[in-house]
Amino acid sequence: MYDAATVRQAYREQKAAFRGLGPVRISYAMKACPLLGVAALLASARADASVVSLGELLAAKRAGFAPSRMQLHGNAKTDEELRGALRAGIGRVVIDGAEEVDRLAALIRRGGTVSVWLRVSPGIDVDTHTYLRTGTLDSKFGASISTGDALDQARRISRTRGLRLIGIHAHLGTQLHEAERYRELGAALATLARDVREATGVTVREVAVGGGLGIRLRADDRVLDVRAYAEAVTAPIRAETTVERATVYCEPGRALVGRAAVALYRVVATKRVPGVRTFVSVDGGMGDNIRPALYDARYDAVVAERAGATGGEVAVAGKYCESGDILIREVRLPDPVPGETIAIPASGAYSVAMASNYNHHTRPAVVLIDRGRARLIRRRESHADIWRLERR
């Protein structure tokens, strides 16, 4: 269940955080929640869209984003995806890999040009789950700055007909809360922009700093103030004369939709293991939110019918046939009984997007609350939906 007002407020906070820090564009990372009903809220607010596949591009277009205000990312874009992006009139293609330079150039019609960013790896480690780090040297994403690959690829792009290098891009990871790491990122990109100018004569006009700002999943989580983040990442860029007037692109996903949704589960059963743990089993789990199993994400929960009540420590267990299907390993709840509702806040990012039909369970319905009215923005799946592409 998503709340439209929370999404709109989060976008306004992102815009306000960068006020007075030079030209900035906020680009919604569609992968966080590609639901049309949610993405349309940000399209109507005039955000850009950051997409990582042809499917996300088409979803963003259906939600109301203009293709000219989209950026296509991805370390393994197929020719089909690149063709689709070019046909749609994509605003920016983010080149991620030397081989992509020639492949993209070959697909451009004679006499045409496409604006591109170069994705780079700044070699900055961050304090988050290993799977959520994307800016280190040991990453599948981006050309390394330290090895010289980034500058070599910038030279190659600048010499390639049909490609117009206008920006550089990097992303450190997600659920980040250290201002100093963002300051390092801004400095690395500013220095690279200066080196690109000296080596190729190309002036970098757009600097994309990714997203990844952490949000509060539990009441006691430590998070970085949005303004402090904005100041940290832009200060080194504005201090470098080569890019002081460049447009900075920020690409939040979780920060815009993460806290806008509450996941609702029905209690099915309780298992008590004296001296070990009490398991409260619910009618969902890793099929609708794999993040606890995949990234060790830690959420809070309440019994919706008794939201103010306290109780003992329990684990909220999912129904999927995996020992790792534990939505919350430790949370204090009043003794839940079958039929009651457990609500898990801050479930808006990557839960719906990464949902699956594992064990042939159907994916849940999604509701949007907007100005006091509730409407269905995705119906509950049926088993017929699961089988519709299968043949015997």
Q: By the 8 A CB rule, do 173 and 222 touch?
A: no
Question: Which pair of structure tokens corresponds to residue 262?
Answer: 């509450």
Tokens 């050309």, residue?
143
Residues 263, 6: Cα–Cα separation, whole Å: 15
Q: What are the φ/ψ torsions at residue 177 (nearest 5 degrees)? A: -145, 20
Cα angle value 20/259/30 (rounded, 5°): 75
Residues 344, 270: Cα–Cα separation, whole Å: 18
Q: By the 8 A CB rule, do 225 and 12 touch?
A: no
5, 106, 304, 321: the catalytic one is 321
Cα angle value 163/168/170 (rounded, 5°): 135
Q: By the 8 A CB rule, do 164 and 114 touch?
A: yes
Radius of gyration from C-alpha coordinates of the chain: 22
Cα angle value 112/153/157 (rounded, 5°): 15
Residues 113, 202: Cα–Cα separation, whole Å: 16
Q: What are the φ/ψ torsions at residue 218 (nearest 5 degrees)? A: -125, 160
Q: Is 321 a catalytic residue?
A: yes
Q: Which residues contact 190 (CB under 8 A, 6 or more apart)?
A: 207, 236, 237, 239, 240, 242, 243
Distance in angstroms between the alpha carbons of the first and the last residue of the chain: 36
Catalytic residues: 321
